[in-house]
Chain A
Amino acid sequence: MALVSLVQSAFKNIAAHITNLSQVRDIIDDVLSSCSDIDNALQRLEVKRDDAEITLRTDIQILINEILSLRRKWPV
């Protein structure tokens, strides 16, 4: 699965569960524009997570978790 479709699928799966929807969407746009592979994207998300305030931090963690979970199901 390509990086873009994997991240987008992950976002679709978690959208109902997160609080800061638009901020997460912006972060995804940023990550997809600057990263070419999944490990790189995950690293970038982790950095953003560590800098975020508490609720956004959980939202990003949920996104990371979902990406990892999809990657296990459909290795890129």
Chain B
Amino acid sequence: MSETDILGEVRGFLERHGIVEFSQIQKKGIPRVLRGENVLLLAPTGSGKTEAALLPLLYRLSKMKGREGGLFGFYIIYITPLRALNRDVFNRIKELCKHLNLTIDVRHGDTTKYLRRKQAITPPNILITTPESLQAILPGKRLKYHLRTVFAVVVDEVHELANGKRGTQLSLGLERLEKLVERPIQRIGLSATVGNPKEVAIFLGGIGRTVNIVWAGYESRRLDVRVESPIPSEEDIRISRRIRYPKHSTARLRRIMSLIEQYTTTIVFVNTRSFAEVLGSKISSMKPSFKFDIHHGSLSKESRMAAEKRLKEGHSRAIIATSSLELGIDIGSADFVIQYSSPRVVMRALQRMGRAGHGVRQTSRGVILTTYNLDDILESVVIIRRALSNKVERASIPLRPRDVLMHQICGVLLDIGEMEYSDLHDLIKRSYPYSKLSEAEFNDILRFMIDRGFIREEGTRFKMTGRTRVFYYENLSTIPDTRQIQVVDITTRSPIGVLDEDYVADNLDVGDVFVIRGRPWFVVSIENEEVICASASDSDSEAPRWIGEMIPVPYEVASEVADLWALYSDKDPSRLTTHLSSRYHISKDVYEFIIDSLDSCKSILGCFPSKKRLIVEDFGEGVVLHAPFGTRANETFGIILSALLTTRVGKDIGFERDPYRIVFIGEDMINPEHVVDIFNEYSTEQISEILRLAVKRTQTFASRFIHVGRRMGIIKRDAKIKEIPVRRIIQSFEGTPVFVETMREVLDEKLDEKRVISVFKGVHDGCINIRVVKTDTPSPFAKMVIEERTRFEVIGEITEEEEVLRLLEERILSKRIKLVCMGDGDWSSIRTLKTISHNVKCPLCGSKRIAVTFPNDSRLLKIVQMVRRGNLLSQEDEKRFKNADLVATLVANYGKQALIVMAGRGIGPKGASRILRPGLCRIDLLRLIAKAEREYARTRPFWN
């Protein structure tokens, strides 16, 4: 039968069911799927990929039913990464299945026991499920039998799964399924956005199977996206004072509200859960009657579903969401998307913008509202350009993860009871991520499992033990198992949301106020599984901050931003303006800001950093390495260089990084030539070795080790993070598969060793040059990393107590404070503590008498000005002035140490004066702060 015949036959079949016209991907994909080919269907969001895969499969199944007189078992497995997507696909296809007299059902973690049992007794012909649920049913006694009829598997959003361990597990799961079925299963992958389709196709098919790639519909995709950075108007400034919010942020907030009012349904995407909360809280305080919802992964399921329902039914006009709404949850059709701040990666931009006008031949309309920050603006325009030309990031497929391998070996043995060494090795190597698994690596993992009783060895055969089944079912999910603590409203006893265990342990105490679901809450008590809270009225509290949630900016985006700087350098501003307008779709109001900022940078640095030119900027209090290589590469540079600089000067050198630069700060001045020396003197082999030595001392390694350890059965899954002696465990497991896997995970997922090595090589070969620039104050480029609040890493010998104190220090140093000159300077400045030098003084008058207050306090400076003018103060202002005076005295005597102490939780100037004394070393100071914080936490409930 020719393609036309096949298409005609399917079309007739569909016309009878009301589907009259195929989209491009359906035209190209359906004949191939009908022919039984393995295919990867690539088409934009909303172009009908699901139907392109399922219609021909249903057609085949319907024919099969007629031929065989009935069906019994699962025949088509449809896998999606999200439970919500399962439901979405089910709703799209159930009517057609009903017409064809085929049964279809959904199975995932939320499926009731009753329904599961029902499926075991009467299996649906089409099962829509998640990768984890497939893992759960593979060894099931009955379900395993029902799986033997499977002839096709569809993997939806395959790029999303391929990009992590869930995909690795699925890849081995498909091999297990095929072994069970004992014949080839047709594999169909669906994706809208993937940068490395060939690799993803091999991933989908495994080794030895051909998967054909079918592209369609990108040329007709309609994307109408622009970049805006609103400039504050008089009205914005007036409102900003009332709601105590920065004027630029207020301008953005008002722009968001005005856009929401222009459209019927708007999704406002933000990059972090905490920011979703902040934005919601500010919108509420600006206009309490404004109807909107908040949607993120830390809200309870009930809250999220209620928000989705309200939006779908038109009760709210907007939803502020994180990635929780990125992938096709059915919330009806949004007609506009606002992305707040750079989406950081192209894939995310496409997925988010695709949520507006989600359908064939509809235009996706949206705007990126950037902050008033050069990086944010240029990064956003680069991402839009790359999105329009479909330059999506590669899915980074984890290769040979040991924890998944261990779990799947248990799975194989549960499926078939026992297996020969060589058969097991062959089966695993058919999965693409393990195709290069060496015998030595395989033997290591087997030995590790035998030693811990997860499997046993009998000659050349491997068998199950009493622990195999429990271990397998306890570890079905590869998603990092961060325990979540439920937040409960004390008055209604209803769940408000969930917080990560790490966050609760590090940041919350009884009496603290935090924001969740856009409202402030007061912590009444913290119990094992619950944080009990009561509604609080003050909305100036901080929203929960989830560490590590910011997505990294890839090298391709960061380096293209650097190309834009170079363009400015090479061409006159008007040509850049034209270029920005035509190629990058940037709106006019941000031109001037871009030009001014670049002008200023060029005059200070002399030239711009690029892929071929690193700039080391020495601004006195620290050194910035300008390196536009993306987040992961810069994190790697930071770890290596800070470790080597620490060794060289004998004192801790800390670093912060963003995708374009790294700042190094120590107690003393850092010689910028030392940075250049490191690039010139160390071989690439030495750099790799140093990186590994330094990585294992980082907090990232420690927290990853806990997750990997849980998945590999050496740390109990319910063990509380606070109670795990992680440094000791790491030491005793060095060299084992747990350690190897943690190192692989950190190096592959968090860092970019390959890029860093290539830069070192480039410097050695003379292809990359390094230039040292001395500046009096940080250049605008440097300021962006100094002022950005990110993680802080200190490399050095770490003991148990030091580790705890370091975490305390990290928290304190990331605190933002406002400095106010008590002398003649009439100066105030909002700073992050870590960016302040040891000797704190006013840059205008040189006074060392500096008071400190919280960032949005504008009153103190006014009080100081009134005192200077000789005005009388109210009783309350008088009290505040005296307090500030005491603070300033402490700062004048003890410099930054005084600021650090007073940044401790519950430590005021009187408490600080009891702690501070001359000659106090760093560790002793931190110990005293920790003690004072404990005392504060213990006594706080009695104060109220």
Chain A: residues with CB nearer than 8 A to chain B? 14, 16-19, 54-55, 57-58, 61-62, 64-65, 68, 72
When C-beta atoms are compared, the residue in chain A nearest to B118 turns out to be A54
- Say how far B149's CB is from chain A's closest CB, in angstroms: 8
Binds A, one of B139-147, B272-280, B294-302: B139-147
Q: Are B144 and A65 in contact (CB under 8 A)?
A: no
Question: A-contacting residues of B (Cβ < 8 Å)?
Answer: 68, 72-73, 120-122, 141-142, 144-145
Task: Indicate if the CB atoms of B68 and A57 lie closer than 8 Å.
Answer: no
Interface centre among A14, A61, A65, A72 (most CB of B within 10 A): A65
Contact of B144 among A17, A55, A58, A64 (CB under 8 A): A17
Query: Is A58 a contact partner of B122 (Cβ separation < 8 A)?
Result: yes
A62→B141 contact, CB < 8 A: no
Known: A58-B120, A58-B122, A68-B68. A19 touches B142 (CB 8 A): yes
Could you say which residues of chain A place their CB within 8 Å of the CB of B145? Answer: 14, 17-18, 62
Alpha-carbon distance A49/B121, docked complex (angstroms): 12
The answer to whether A17 touches B142 (Cβ under 8 A) is yes
State A62–B72 Cα separation when bound (angstroms): 8
| Bound: A11/B43 CA distance, A | 46
Task: Return 23 A-B CB contacts under 8 Å, by A number.
Answer: A14-B145, A16-B141, A16-B144, A17-B142, A17-B144, A17-B145, A18-B141, A18-B142, A18-B145, A19-B141, A19-B142, A54-B121, A55-B121, A58-B120, A58-B121, A58-B122, A58-B142, A62-B72, A62-B145, A64-B72, A65-B72, A65-B73, A72-B68
- Measured between beta carbons, the chain B residues less than 8 angstroms from A72 are 68
CA distance A19 to B142 in the complex (A): 8
Residues of A within 8 A of B73 (CB): 65
State in angstroms the CA–CA spacing of A4 and B73 once bound together: 25
- Shortest Cβ distance from residue B39 to the other chain A in the assembled complex, whole angstroms: 27
A30 CB, nearest partner CB in chain B, Å? 22
Given A54-B121, A55-B121, residue A61 in contact with residue B72 (CB < 8 A): yes
B residues near A19, Cβ cutoff 8 Å:
141-142
Instruction: Give CA–CA (A68, B72) in the complex, Å.
Output: 11
Looking across the interface, which residue of chain A has its beta carbon closest to that of B72?
Answer: A65
> Complex formed: what's the CA distance from A74 to B122 in Å?
26
Chain A residue with Cβ nearest B417: A16
Sorted nearest first, the 10 A-B pairs with minimum C-beta distance are A17-B145, A58-B121, A65-B72, A17-B141, A17-B142, A62-B145, A54-B121, A61-B72, A17-B144, A14-B145
Q: In the docked arrangement, what's the CA distance between A14 and B144, Å? A: 10
Tell me the bound Cα distance from A28 to B158 in angstroms: 45
A38 to B144, CA, bound (A): 26
* Nearest Cβ on chain A to B143's Cβ, whole angstroms: 9
Name the B residues within 8 Å of A16 (CB-CB): 141, 144
A42 CB to nearest chain B CB (Å):
11
Q: 17 additional contacts, CB 8 Å, given A14-B145, A18-B141, A58-B142? A: A16-B141, A17-B142, A17-B144, A17-B145, A18-B142, A18-B145, A19-B141, A19-B142, A54-B121, A55-B121, A57-B121, A58-B121, A58-B122, A61-B72, A62-B145, A65-B73, A68-B68
Complex: A58 Cα to B117 Cα, angstroms: 11
Query: In the bound complex, what is the Cα–Cα distance between A18 and B143 (angstroms)?
Result: 10
Q: How far is the CB of A22 from chain B (nearest CB, A)?
A: 16
Chain B positions within 8 Å of A65 at CB level = 72-73
Instruction: Write the nearest CB–CB distance from B154 to chain A, whole angstroms.
Output: 24
A17–B880 alpha-carbon span in the complex (Å): 77
Chain B residue nearest to A17 in the complex (CB): B145
A61 — which chain B residues lie within 8 A by C-beta? 72
Chain B residues whose C-beta falls within 8 Å of the C-beta of A14 in the assembled complex: 145
Complex Cα distance A61/B68, Å? 15
Q: Which residues of A contact B142 (CB under 8 A)?
A: 17-19, 58, 62
Nearest CB of B to A66, in Å: 8
> Within the assembled complex, what's the spacing in Å between the Cα atoms of A45 and B33?
37
Considering the chains assembled together, what is the distance between the CA atoms of A58 and B72 in angstroms? 10
Complexed CA–CA distance, A15 and B35 (Å)? 35
CA–CA, A57 and B72, complex, Å: 13
Q: How far is the CA of A72 from the CA of B64 in the complex (A)?
A: 13
State in angstroms the CA–CA spacing of A72 and B122 once bound together.
22
In the complex, chain A residues whose CB is within 8 Å of the CB of B141: 16-19
A71 to B504 Cα, complex, angstroms: 62
B120 / chain A contacts, CB cutoff of 8 Å = 58
In angstroms, Cα B142 to Cα A16, docked, is 8
A31 CB to closest chain B CB (Å) equals: 18
Q: When chains A and B are docked, how far (Å) is the Cα of A19 from the Cα of B120?
A: 11
Question: In the assembly, what is the distance between CA of A55 and CA of B73, in Å?
Answer: 15
Which residues of B have CB within 8 Å of A17? 141-142, 144-145
User: What is the CA–CA distance of A58 and B145 in the complex, to the nearest angstrom?
Assistant: 11
A64 contacts across to B, CB distance below 8 A: 72
CA distance A19 to B144 in the complex (A): 13
* A17, A55, A57, A72: most-surrounded residue (chain B CB, <10 A): A17
Most buried by B among A14, A18, A58, A62: A58
- Residues of chain A lying within 8 A (CB to CB) of residue B144: 16-17
Min CB gap A1→B, angstroms: 18
Bound Cα distance from A71 to B639, whole angstroms: 66
- Closest beta carbon of chain B to A73's beta carbon, Å: 11
* Closest residue on chain A to residue B122 by CB atoms: A58
Residues of chain A lying within 8 A (CB to CB) of residue B72? 61-62, 64-65
Please name the residue on chain A nearest to B71 by beta carbon.
A65
